[in-house]
Amino acid sequence: MPGLEPITGPTPEPNAAPEPTPEPTPNPEPTLDLTRGAARLTAALVDIESVSGDEKALADAIEAALRPYPHLEVLRDGDSVLARTSLGRAERVILAGHLDTVPIAVDSTGRRNVPSLLEGDWETGTLRGCGTSDMKAGVAVQLVLAAGLAEPNRDVTYVFYECEEVEAERNSLGRLIRTRPDWFAADFAVLLEPSNNIVEGGCQGTMRVRLTFRGARAHSARSWLGDNAIHKAGAALRRLAEYQPRRVEVEGLEFREGLNAVGITGGVAGNVIPDECSVLVNFRFAPDRDEADAERHVREVFAGLDAELVVTDSAPAARPGLHLPLAAEFVGAVMAGLDARPTAKFGWTDVARFAGLGVPGVNYGPGDGGLAHKPDESVDLGQVVRCAERMRSWLGPAS
């Protein structure tokens, strides 16, 4: 056609074979270098996403990193990894930390809080990202100790477990304790949950109860023909609003209790008097109470109400035990020179599981628990470095 340039270049062969499509390059498996220090290792751990139930990639990386060390016996169980020394020492301690995080957060600009973001330097800076504080910094400390301490002054069992941030029945530490009891025979345990490098003794117990109020449905235009269950629930809410929680000293540490409504459900439709209303109540109790005493107290608070009270879940508290020789020695080693003293643990932790085994334990690790689960979660890398140094000093020099 006029005005069109002729097509130039070679004419393709008829029925020529198409160019082969290159095979996609698989993503390399994440690897961990346990010799790079706890701060950099924290970043590497954060960069391997491990939301509860999806810890496999991180467990694979940890298992692969630990197996080359001849002083460690390594065991994989599900997506949990255990390692231990067996040097015949007179005492054994457990260092434990969970691998999972809460779901990844996205900020207003669309940025996810993984991968990690370094602000400043690796010695004194801040690392931001999901799990930095809760509790990949603590896991990093465990890993550098596991790799670097071939001749600890005590035998050490390292526990890296899955599904701590979800319902208790999925928490793999409970499963491991039941199925691998020989791995949990020990004299002392440290759970490296974030505590700002301050020893936190024991933990609160937790109990949830559901109060169910029942009435009778009716048209809201003729409400006198019904019995409003939501109105009945008001009596329970008033008792909760007026409740004065205890502050009690247990083995030298002050624990504070709390009894609070954490959920309420009820209602049928916008023109119906509701015939049922439920209030979910959470009781955080001090370790001078056992679960039976905690339930008795809750029932006393709500005595006389026209309601059904059912305990929906419960976990025991743990006493501090800081007067015991190993615990006292640990406190002296990791808090020497600090203008601080141990505090009570507000919240439930897996220290209670160790207490149930007769193994005294404490919470101690880098990071601020107040930043846990937040979109802008972060950790002070200076705390990570100092925690690793103090734990290494307590357990003995590296070989």
CB contact at 8 A, 89 and 155: yes
Phi, psi dihedral angles at 264 (to 5 degrees): -150, 135
Helices (H) and strands (E) in the chain, counts: 9, 19
User: Closest by alpha carbon to 96, among 58, 132, 146?
Assistant: 146
Please state, in angstroms and rounded to a whole number, the distance separating the CA atoms of residues 362 and 333: 14
State the amino acid at position 57 in one-letter form. A
Residue 100 annotated in active site: yes
CB contact at 8 A, 133 and 98: no
CB contact at 8 A, 146 and 72: yes
Please state, in angstroms and rounded to a whole number, the distance separating the CA atoms of residues 100 and 93: 23
Please state, in angstroms and rounded to a whole number, the distance separating the CA atoms of residues 308 and 150: 57
Residue 162 annotated in active site: no
Q: What is the DSSP string of 330-391?
A: HHHHHSTT-S---EE--S--THHHHHHTT--EEE--SS-GGGTT-TT-EEEHHHHHHHHHHH
Catalytic residue among 49, 55, 79, 100: 100
CB contact at 8 A, 173 and 359: no
User: Closest by alpha carbon to 192, among 384, 378, 393?
Assistant: 384
Q: How does DSSP classify residue 224? A: G
Catalytic residue among 55, 134, 155, 164: 164
Please state, in angstroms and rounded to a whole number, the distance separating the CA atoms of residues 372 and 361: 21
Please state, in angstroms and rounded to a whole number, the distance separating the CA atoms of residues 176 and 159: 10
The CA radius of gyration of the chain, in Å to the nearest whole number, is 27
Please state, in angstroms and rounded to a whole number, the distance separating the CA atoms of residues 350 and 318: 9
Q: Give residue for tokens 């056609």.
A: 1
Q: Give residue for tokens 């406190």.
A: 331
User: Closest by alpha carbon to 230, among 173, 275, 163?
Assistant: 275
Residues that are catalytic: 100, 164
